[in-house]
Structure 1
Amino acid sequence: HSLCLDLTVKTQSRPGQPWCQVQGSVDTKPFLQNDSDSNKVRPLGFLGEEVNNTKAWTELSQTLGEAGRKLRMVLPVIKLDRKEMRERFTVLGGGAGPPTLQIRLCCQCEAEQWSGAALLFNLNGRTALLLDTMNITWTVIDPGATGLKEEWESNQELAEYISKISTGDCSYWLNQFLEHWENMLLPEP
């Protein structure tokens, strides 16, 4: 079983466009959506409806808001390499603009045992970094993302916060949601 949270964070957004959006899924089935404009987590599907009044839902909702704000503060200090800056200048028609950060946080359990957690970082739509939070191992996928890796390594408070979410909170939420999920899958007598 897995719980994945996909966060998209921008430092700036157009009017009517949220600066942070989140979609959550359990076993690839979407069960929640959130954006910074409404500041509300909306349930999706049967699981979302089933768990939206639970303690785990409330804690997850609060954590998503806090994580979005913390990540938004990191974006302005991320240094892009020259190639990335040239590409952004060309793609965006003359302005480098602020970067967009997408993070996919996933945790897994198998046979009721915690089996792993990872964070996949995308910068401006390109896969940049992978962090195995079980053993804090960074894999640089895009050499242009070394500035992002350096920022995460130097911002110990943020790194520990995100690591705590992925290795502790995520497994707790997954276990809580799975109780409801499995009850929903049981056949009626």
Structure 2
Amino acid sequence: MEIYVLSLLLLGVLVLTETWAGSHSLKYFYAAMSQPGLAKPRFISVTYVDDQQVLSFDSDRESQSTEPRTPWIKQEIPDYWERETQISREATQRYRMCLQKVSSYYNHSEGGVHTYQRLSGCEVFSNGSFSRGFVQYAYDGQDYLALDTETLRWIAGNTGALNNKLKWEADQSVAKYWKGYMQEECVYWLHRYLENGKQTLLKTDPPYVQVTRHTSSDGKVTLRCRAQDFYPAEISLTWLRDGEEQLQETELIETRPAGDGTFQKWAAVGMLSGNEQKYTCRVQHEGLPERLFLKWEPQSSSVGLSAGVITALLLLLAAVIVGVVIWRKNTSDENRGSYITTESSDSAQGSDVSLTAKA
């Protein structure tokens, strides 16, 4: 085990010499769920590197194995998959017991619908060095326990978590394990994943941004700044009024996956009609060489554009008409010339016929 940990640290140090754009994270989601009709609680684990799901495990699957969720991770050696599967199977048994124990702290029956969850992981700076770590637990969707990595104290979300808090603080080995794991082993695996999946994980796609104007039935005007087709997911959309940030007045939606590996987000701000040109949308993203500043383009611009298009179409139509007139004139002259020639020939032939008849 000591050799294994030492190799992790050595490899981690080697990777630290590489520089990546932006910060990166490795996150593990664990969840045990009970409900009527289930003989045993279901256990699910999901692993994310930045915004990409890379691994998953589901105790309800027949394979009972950790499975890849992105093409690049399939290149890992067989020992890796055996290790990950073993970890997931052990976690299944452990979190089923934890769910049962925590439920008893709240006097909940075993036959009810309950969940016990954990989020853990780490983040690194652009140079690969450790930024922060985190481990948080939740029960039935509510905060349960979280580790303060500075003081190594456990923060209880409610009175039901006090039993675990006192137990884990009495035994500092739990907190020390997590601190060491987050700063060393977690960072190693994050470096490894970033190296193996750098073709997709380290790419940057700039956002396509547009500002639109919307009017509600009561006459209220809203400007919406919408960004899409960007990666990674971290982005900043800020509305400015005369250069001042309008944080309180801005309505934001969370960044959402677009389904094609990119993300989308929008920010909206309301105002009185006629004040639209006082507002500017500021966009910041890793894929942009510099910040973007966009305003809503008034309808007059669209009208001007449409007028220009109409003018071009009219000129094109006029050219076509002139061409048709010239073509018809040329065709008419050719037909007239043919008629004259034919008439002359017919006359000549008529003369010859007449002459012959007279002979």
| Same fold, TM-score > 0.5, yes or no | yes
Query: Structure 2 vs 1, CA of residues 143 and 22 (structure 1 numbering), >3 Å: closer, same or farther?
Result: same
Change (3 A) 1:100 1:176: same
Match of 1:148 in 2: 164
User: In structure 1, what is the equivalent of residue 99 of structure 2?
Assistant: 75
Distance of 2:150 and 2:79 partners within structure 1: 25
Identity of aligned residues (%): 26
Contact 1:25–1:32 (Cα < 8 Å) also in 2: yes
In the TM superposition, what are the counterparts of 1:59-98 in structure 2 within 5 Å?
59-78=83-102, 84-85=106-107, 97=112
Match for 1:49 among 51, 58, 74? Answer: 74
CA distance in 2 between partners of 1:163 and 1:9 (Å): 24
Are the equivalent residues in 2 in contact too, given 1:105–1:119 (CA < 8 A)?
yes
- The one-letter amino acid of 1:118's match is F
Q: Whole-Å Cα distance in 1 between the matches of residues 184 and 166 of structure 2?
A: 24
Distance apart, 1:122 and its partner CA: 0.5
Does the aligned pair in 1 maintain the 2:36–2:111 contact within 8 Å? Answer: no
RMSD: 3.5
Give the match for residue 31 of structure 1. Answer: 54
Kindly tell me the number of residue pairs found equivalent between the two proteins: 177
Task: String of CA shifts for 1:157-189, please: whole Å, max 9, x gaps.
Answer: 7666655544433222111111112144578xx
| Distance of aligned partners of 1:155 and 1:8 in 2 relative to their CA distance in 1, 3 Å threshold | farther
Give the CA deviation at 1:144: 3.1
What aligned pairs does 1:104-143 form with structure 2 within 5 A after superposition?
104-110=119-125, 111-133=127-149, 135-143=151-159
Residue ranges of structure 2 left out of the alignment (5+ in a row): 1-23, 204-359
- Compare relative contact order (CA 8 Å, sep 6+) and give the higher one, 1 or 2: 1
Please tell me whether residue 173 in structure 1 is matched to residue 197 in structure 2: no
| Partners of 2:122 and 2:132 within 8 A in 1 | yes
| Runs of at least 5 residues in structure 1 that lack an aligned partner in the other structure | 90-94
Tell me the equivalent position of 1:2: 25
If you compute each CA radius of gyration, which structure gives the higher value, 1 or 2? 2
Give the whole-Å Cα distance in 2 for the aligned partners of 1:98 and 1:181: 38
Residue 100 of structure 1, aligned match among 88, 103, 115: 115
In 2, Cα distance between the equivalents of 1:71 and 1:36? 12
User: Structure 1 residues 22 and 79, CA, compared in 2 at 3 Å: closer, same or farther?
Assistant: closer
Query: Cα gap change, 1:184/1:97 in structure 2, threshold over 3 Å: closer, same or farther?
Result: closer
Aligned residue identity for 1:6: F
CA 1:64 to 1:116, structure 2 compared with 1: closer, same or farther past 3 Å? farther
